[in-house]
Amino acid sequence: MTGFEPILPVVVIDDARDAEALGRALLAGGIHQAEITLRTPAALSALRALAGMPGLRVGVGTVLEPEQAEAAIDAGATFVVSPGLSESVLAVCERRGVQAVPGAVTATEVMRARSLGLRTLKFFPAESSGGPAALSALSSVFPDLAFVPTGGIDASRAADYLALPSVIAVGGSWMVPRAAIAAGDFTGVEALCRTAVEAAR
């Protein structure tokens, strides 16, 4: 069970006070999940605020160290996304009962993750690693795996990934622009989310 919807917003948030308004915009736009990246000091506080919102499944991204995974899970993260595979991060997720989604972009990386029992992987960085064509070729030899491509994907490219049977969600920030969040333009964020959801149908 993956638990993912087709559109996964990858959020960079600079002020935790914007979290609730962002959550309302996501839900109003038809999105019920978000990945809060650990790229700003506000990330964990924002994650905690969003995790308390009914109907919103919140995870954490850019997790590099086990301590980050622990802190994010304590803050309410229900899935942990990493740019690559860290066995120490994976161990935390297994112990805490939280889904780990590590990044893999080569056959060797995918095989390593698969040997550890993982069946949902992040294909990252997607666009610079060959895009849908590369992921299609990779998926053809790993039919039991599901992928969440992220990295350089925008509205014009999302459908190309979602057309692949192995892709369960596409991650990106085009529907949650960092500048729009910082400017408080949540009406604009809601509209972008709604458009992304409609395009994914």
Cβ 71 vs Cβ 41: under 8 Å: no
Residues 182-192: pLDDT tens digits? Answer: 999 999 999 99
Residue 169 corresponds to which tokens in the numbers above? Answer: 């969600």
Assigned domain for 191 exists: yes
Domain total in the chain: 1
Residue 127 corresponds to which tokens in the numbers above? Answer: 């666009």
Residues 105-155: pLDDT tens digits? Answer: 999 999 999 999 999 999 999 999 999 999 999 999 999 999 999 999 999
Residue 122: active-site member: yes
Assigned domain for 1 exists: no
Q: Identify whether 165 is preceded by a cis peptide bond (ω within 30 of 0).
A: no
Residue 35: active-site member: yes
Active-site option among 122, 127, 190, 198: 122
pTM above 0.95, yes or no: yes
The domain that contains 195 carries what CATH number? 3.20.20.70
Quick check: 1 pLDDT over 70? no
* Residue 197: other Cβ atoms inside 10 A: 17
3-state secondary structure of 55: coil
Q: Residue 69: which of 57, 56, 85 has the closest Cα?
A: 85
Assigned domain for 2 exists: no
In whole angstroms, what is the distance from residue 156 CA to residue 36 CA?
Answer: 23
Active-site option among 35, 67, 87, 94: 35
3-state secondary structure of 103: strand
Write out the residue range of the structural domain in which residue 140 sits: 7-199
